[in-house]
Amino acid sequence: MSDTTEKLVGIVLVSHSAAVAASVAELAKGLAGGGTTAPVAPAGGTPDGGLGTSAELIAAAAAAVDQGAGIAVLTDLGSAVLTVKALLAEGDELPDGARLVDAPFVEGAVAAVVTASAGADLDAVEAAAAEAYSYRKT
């Protein structure tokens, strides 16, 4: 029996593209398998639907997945990375326990969601996502 009151680490996926963020979220949840999956929220593109990064969408996604167990934020590149860092530096823009995780976007997201869904803590989720860098393909 899973404990339905267990707090899970939340995952926020920040991409320049709304479609990429949403698709990677769907992929990661799908690969995490059945049962309870950790809360995952995409924060892709700009509020008007363009390519870019939105601090507003990131803050909303973080609030949506926050169960109090910490939040792993994964990003694609450039302004996505810098915006999350700037929000974290501000202190009150993202929930307590939000952390930028250094990981490849797709593989890291899958590892993070699978690990978080198993009830792991934020350090373990971060480690699993970062470890995805070491899965060589040739």
Partner 1 sequence: MLDVDFFRRWMTATAVSVDREAQRLTDLDSPIGDADHGSNLQRGFNSVRAALEKEAPATPGAVLVLAGRQLISTVGGASGPLYGSLLRKTGKELGDAAEVTEEQLALALRAGVDAVMALGGASPGDKTMIDALVPAVDALSESFAAAKAAADEGAVATTPLQARKGRASYLGERSIGHQDPGATSSALLIGALVEAAGE
* Distance in angstroms (rounded) separating the CA atoms of residues 80 and 58: 9
User: Is 82 an interacting residue with respect to partner 1 (CB under 8 A)?
Assistant: yes
User: Is 97 tagged catalytic?
Assistant: no
Q: Does residue number 1 form part of the binding site for partner 1 (CB under 8 A)?
A: no
**CB burial of residue 52 (10 Å; 0-12, 13-18, 19+):** middle
- Asked if 123 touches partner 1 (CB under 8 A), the answer is no
For residue 124, give every residue at least 6 positions away whose Cβ sits within 8 Å of its Cβ, in sequence order, or none.
115
Longest dimension (CA), the chain: 43
Interatomic CA distance for residues 86 and 45, integer angstroms: 17
- The residue from 52, 95, 97, 119 that contacts partner 1 (CB under 8 A) is 52
Interaction pattern, residues 88-117, with partner 1; x per rule: CB under 8 A: -xx---------------------------
Nearer to partner 1 among residue 3 and residue 92 (C-beta) = 92
Closest among 50, 48, 49, 55 to 12, alpha carbons compared: 55
- Which of 46, 60, 63, 104 lies at the binding interface for partner 1 (CB under 8 A)? 46
Q: Of 16, 20, 37, 73, which is the active-site residue?
A: 16
Could you give the residue numbers annotated as active site?
A: 16
Footprint on this chain of partner 1 (rule: CB under 8 A):
46, 50-56, 78-79, 82-83, 85-87, 89-90
